[in-house]
Amino acid sequence: MPSAPILVTCGLPYANGPCHIGHLRTYVPADIFVRGLRKLGRDVAFICGSDAHGTPIVVNAESQGISPETLVARYHQHFDQAFKGMNVAFDYFGSTHNPSNFVRTQEMVTALMENGHVYPREIELAYCPSCQRFLPDRYVEGECPYCGKPARGDECDQGCGRHLEPGEIKNAVCKVCGGSADYRKQTHYFFKLSSFQDFLIDYLQTLGGTITARNYALEWVRQELKDWCITRNMSWGVPFPGHNELVVYVWVDAPIGYISFSEEWCEKSGRNWKAYWKDGARIIHFIGGDIVYHHCIFWPAMLKGSGYTLPSAVVASGMLKIDDRKFSKSRGYVIWVIDDYLEKGLHPDLLRYYLASYTSHTKEVNFAWKIFADKVNTELVGALGNFINRALTFTAKNFDGKVPNGEIDPEVLKKIEAVMQEMTSALEEYEFKKMCDGVMALADYGNIYFQSHEPWKLIKTDRESAGAVLRSCLQIAKALAVFMEPVMPSKMDAAGRQLGLPGPVGEMLFCEALAPMEEGADLGHPELLFSRMEEAQVKELDRVFKERIRQADAREKTKTEEKKLISYDQFQALDIRVGEILQAERIKGSNKLLKLMVSLGDETRQVVAGIATNYAPEDLAGRQIAVLANLEPAKLFGVESQAMILAADVDGAAVLLGPEKRVAPGSKVR
Ligand SMILES: [Zn+2]
Ligand SMILES: [Zn+2]
């Protein structure tokens, strides 16, 4: 039955740092989904590319003394390698810096302007007088106008999390020179997002994908939608049509990459890109949970306003924790895909299985090496691998490496069919854990089937019945390989070769799992598909991870200590002297404070000190103490304090400091 082509995309990795398993939380399930759809016979294109623009890339390139081109080319290649290494097989992996994305972006922005969705407005923007430039996005830091917390130019990253529009940030400071910025007027261009409110409310109610994404977006859209500034003062990016001094905001040209990459791929493979973006294909975006706003609000409004096909589903993945802690690159809670995983010789399919099977797609995945090893050893080695290997080695030994004759148990076929139905509906619901669970339940069924039919006994008395049991087991093994292929493509392809299947498992449909293993067909050579993770290996992987956290902690500590260092000049500014207490009395109404009269030699100061719980006033007269003499006066309980006495803080109790022997009052402390 012919149906509309399907286009699956993944949120574009930002070409500004290496690939970590937080990325894979989205890319692996998307790849599983595409492979699964192909196993249902659907026509699917799988498109992605790197996001090359925006201020963080320019800032990073500047700090490394390289051009932004060099930086993005480096990470583009890195992500391409990481995805290939992880068996994430895009049909096309482009870059938003490719010329076709410039062309498509300018065409769409022009269309939006012609359709009256873009208008100019004069706004006040942060401007650095010493750098003599406007400060877009990450070039500026300051205070969030909504919550008052420290924020970046485009995002309140430490407070309320709001996206900040240009000009919104308060008390702006230039990130380049550290000087305080002022605000100057400039004309920028705005996308009239507010006029898409009714459209978005209707559209979002029909949007497929994960319910989390849709509900989150609906909540935003039902509140006030603000128009959106789509231009920036930069030279890195796609020039805004007719204004070469401005580029479009990175969140304009990044999603347009989905279209331009499709164009590039169609050009190469002799297809028509309009079939995807003009004629109502099913477009499905897989994204991280942090960019729902952009994909469910900005992006459909832009597509609508310029006449393109709207996405039919947005699938947002849950977050990733490392060792039960919030993922954080700066604190060391990160696992790098190439350095920490692939280059340690670990097979990509093991991590794919972990990410898909750990929990539901929208929930939080926790990654830890210990759990990883447990899953590999128990589920993959102990259940799945064990069953396939047992069926194969027993057949190789007793039936000359050929599929035995005998009827396949109808119960087995029924079970396989039930699992297939379950997998199909799991796929349609974006529930990859359910898919994995279905296959693993079939592996358990296989192990029990083998165990309870005791072919090792049967072979001695009834070779024919033993043959039928084995043929049934091989049928289960075949179904396991076909069903698990989307999750573990190269491992299951190896299983397919051991089973002597005629073609690559990757090209087989789910329904072929029901086609009987042919009697007398040659099996391949049985080999263990998975090997146990040994404790020493797990410890070593964990040691590398813990060492990174330790280094991050040490870095953080040095940073705070550096902050606390003062210069000698600053120290010299403190006028610390030895004082002699002449008289002390309680302050009425306070049980903590004492009023002291302190001689500094040529003058007497009145000092309020919080030592009443540790010292009785009558014991203090005549004591010599250390005094900070040039602290500005302050009133405590209505009593003026003209200096501060110094004391050690011992679990909250004050212990006065004094000279080791009596000295002249007023002696300077250096
Ligand atoms: Zn805020
Ligand atoms: Zn500056």
Quickly list DSSP for 226-275. Answer: PPEE-EES-SSSPEETTEEEEEE-HHHHHHHHHHHHHHHHHHHHT--THH
C-alpha of residue 177 to centroid of ligand 2, in Å: 4
What is the C-alpha separation between 221 and 193, in angstroms, rounded?
A: 10
Helix axes 432-453, 21-39, angle to 10 degrees: 70
C-alpha of residue 147 to centroid of ligand 1, in Å: 4
Q: Identity (one letter) of the amino acid at 181?
A: A
C-alpha of residue 150 to centroid of ligand 1, in Å: 8
What is the C-alpha separation between 216 and 296, in angstroms, rounded?
A: 9
Q: Whose atoms come closest to the Cα of 157: which ligand?
A: 1
Q: Whose atoms come closest to the Cα of 139: which ligand?
A: 2
What is the C-alpha separation between 337 and 320, in angstroms, rounded?
A: 14
Nearest CA-CA partner of 369 in 342, 341, 348, 343: 341
C-alpha of residue 160 to centroid of ligand 1, in Å: 4
**Token output for 441:** 């339940």
pLDDT given at position 1: 39
Report in angstroms the alpha-carbon separations of 104 from 54, 120, 263, 270.
Answer: 18, 21, 9, 19
C-alpha of residue 58 to centroid of ligand 1, in Å: 25
C-alpha of residue 157 to centroid of ligand 1, in Å: 7
Taking a C-beta distance cutoff of 8 angstroms, is the pair 19, 13 a contact? yes
Taking a C-beta distance cutoff of 8 angstroms, is the pair 521, 500 a contact? yes
What is the C-alpha separation between 517 and 520, in angstroms, rounded?
A: 9
Q: Whose atoms come closest to the Cα of 159: which ligand?
A: 1
Report in angstroms the alpha-carbon separations of 75 from 13, 49, 161, 266.
Answer: 9, 11, 27, 24
Q: Whose atoms come closest to the Cα of 142: which ligand?
A: 1
Does the 573-656 domain belong in CATH 3.40.50.1000? no
C-alpha of residue 296 to centroid of ligand 1, in Å: 22
What is the C-alpha separation between 17 and 11, in angstroms, rounded?
A: 15
Taking a C-beta distance cutoff of 8 angstroms, is the pair 4, 63 a contact? no
Backbone dihedral region for residue 121 (phi beyond 0: left; psi -120 to 50: alpha; all else: beta): beta
Nearest CA-CA partner of 252 in 298, 290, 192: 298
Q: Whose atoms come closest to the Cα of 144: which ligand?
A: 1
**Token output for 651:** 């679990």
C-alpha of residue 531 to centroid of ligand 1, in Å: 49
Does the 368-514 domain belong in CATH 2.40.10.10? no
**Token output for 187:** 């004309």
Return the biggest CA–CA distance within the chain.
115
Taking a C-beta distance cutoff of 8 angstroms, is the pair 233, 199 a contact? no
pLDDT given at position 161: 79
Q: Whose atoms come closest to the Cα of 129: which ligand?
A: 2
Q: Whose atoms come closest to the Cα of 169: which ligand?
A: 1
pLDDT given at position 439: 97
C-alpha of residue 174 to centroid of ligand 1, in Å: 19
C-alpha of residue 289 to centroid of ligand 1, in Å: 19
**Token output for 663:** 């000295």
3 state SS of 315? strand
C-alpha of residue 230 to centroid of ligand 1, in Å: 21
C-alpha of residue 138 to centroid of ligand 2, in Å: 12
Nearest CA-CA partner of 92 in 101, 281, 40: 101
Taking a C-beta distance cutoff of 8 angstroms, is the pair 593, 572 a contact? no
C-alpha of residue 178 to centroid of ligand 2, in Å: 6
Give the burial string for 355-371 (b: 16+ CB within 10 Å, else e). Answer: bbbbebbbebbebbbee
User: How does DSSP classify residue 405?
Assistant: P
C-alpha of residue 334 to centroid of ligand 2, in Å: 33
Q: Whose atoms come closest to the Cα of 149: which ligand?
A: 1
Nearest CA-CA partner of 76 in 66, 84, 86: 84
Say how far residue 333 (Cα) sits from the centre of its chain.
Answer: 12
Taking a C-beta distance cutoff of 8 angstroms, is the pair 288, 27 a contact? no
Taking a C-beta distance cutoff of 8 angstroms, is the pair 13, 76 a contact? no
C-alpha of residue 229 to centroid of ligand 1, in Å: 19
3 state SS of 35? helix
Return the number of other C-beta atoms located less than 10 Å from residue 103's C-beta: 14
Q: Identity (one letter) of the amino acid at 298?
A: F
C-alpha of residue 139 to centroid of ligand 1, in Å: 18
Q: Whose atoms come closest to the Cα of 161: which ligand?
A: 1
Helix axes 432-453, 386-398, angle to 10 degrees: 40
Residue that is written with structure tokens 């379950």 in the block: 422
What is the C-alpha separation between 293 and 582, in angstroms, rounded?
A: 68
User: How does DSSP classify residue 529?
Assistant: S
C-alpha of residue 66 to centroid of ligand 2, in Å: 20
C-alpha of residue 164 to centroid of ligand 2, in Å: 20
Residue that is written with structure tokens 């920028």 in the block: 188
222-111-224 Cα angle (round to 5): 15
Report in angstroms the alpha-carbon separations of 266 from 80, 90, 262.
Answer: 19, 13, 6
Taking a C-beta distance cutoff of 8 angstroms, is the pair 625, 658 a contact? yes
What is the C-alpha separation between 229 and 191, in angstroms, rounded?
A: 6
What is the C-alpha separation between 571 and 46, in angstroms, rounded?
A: 63
What is the C-alpha separation between 611 and 650, in angstroms, rounded?
A: 12
Nearest CA-CA partner of 331 in 19, 21, 541, 553: 553
Q: Whose atoms come closest to the Cα of 158: which ligand?
A: 1
Q: Whose atoms come closest to the Cα of 182: which ligand?
A: 2
Taking a C-beta distance cutoff of 8 angstroms, is the pair 351, 361 a contact? no
- Provide the total of helices (H) and of strands (E) in the chain, helices listed first: 20, 28
Q: What are phi and psi of 123, to 5 degrees?
A: -130, 165
Q: Whose atoms come closest to the Cα of 177: which ligand?
A: 2
Half-sphere exposure of 524 (CA within 13 A, CB side): 18
pTM of the model: 0.83
Q: What are phi and psi of 101, to 5 degrees?
A: -75, -30
C-alpha of residue 131 to centroid of ligand 2, in Å: 4
C-alpha of residue 141 to centroid of ligand 1, in Å: 12
pLDDT along the chain (670 residues), means of 10: 82 96 97 97 97 93 93 97 98 97 98 97 93 90 92 88 88 90 94 96 96 91 90 94 93 97 97 93 94 94 97 96 90 94 96 97 95 97 97 96 96 98 96 97 98 96 96 98 98 97 95 96 96 95 93 85 76 92 89 92 92 90 94 87 90 87 92
C-alpha of residue 248 to centroid of ligand 2, in Å: 22
CATH T-level topology, domain 113-200+208-244? Methionyl-trna Synthetase; domain 2 (2.170.220)
C-alpha of residue 168 to centroid of ligand 1, in Å: 11
What is the C-alpha separation between 418 and 305, in angstroms, rounded?
A: 45
How many residues are given for the chain? 670
C-alpha of residue 235 to centroid of ligand 2, in Å: 17
C-alpha of residue 134 to centroid of ligand 2, in Å: 9
C-alpha of residue 127 to centroid of ligand 2, in Å: 8
C-alpha of residue 135 to centroid of ligand 1, in Å: 19
Nearest CA-CA partner of 282 in 218, 216, 207: 207
Its CATH class, for the domain covering 6-105+253-326, is: alpha beta
Strand duo 133-134 + 320-322: pairing: unpaired
C-alpha of residue 180 to centroid of ligand 2, in Å: 8
Q: Whose atoms come closest to the Cα of 176: which ligand?
A: 2
550-552-557 Cα angle (round to 5): 95
C-alpha of residue 327 to centroid of ligand 2, in Å: 32
C-alpha of residue 141 to centroid of ligand 2, in Å: 11
All residues with CB under 5 Å from ion ligand 2:
128, 131, 174, 176-177, 179
Residue that is written with structure tokens 């500590």 in the block: 557
Report in angstroms the alpha-carbon separations of 150 from 22, 143, 165, 170.
Answer: 26, 5, 15, 9
What's the Rg (C-alpha) of the chain? 34
Q: Whose atoms come closest to the Cα of 164: which ligand?
A: 1
C-alpha of residue 129 to centroid of ligand 2, in Å: 7
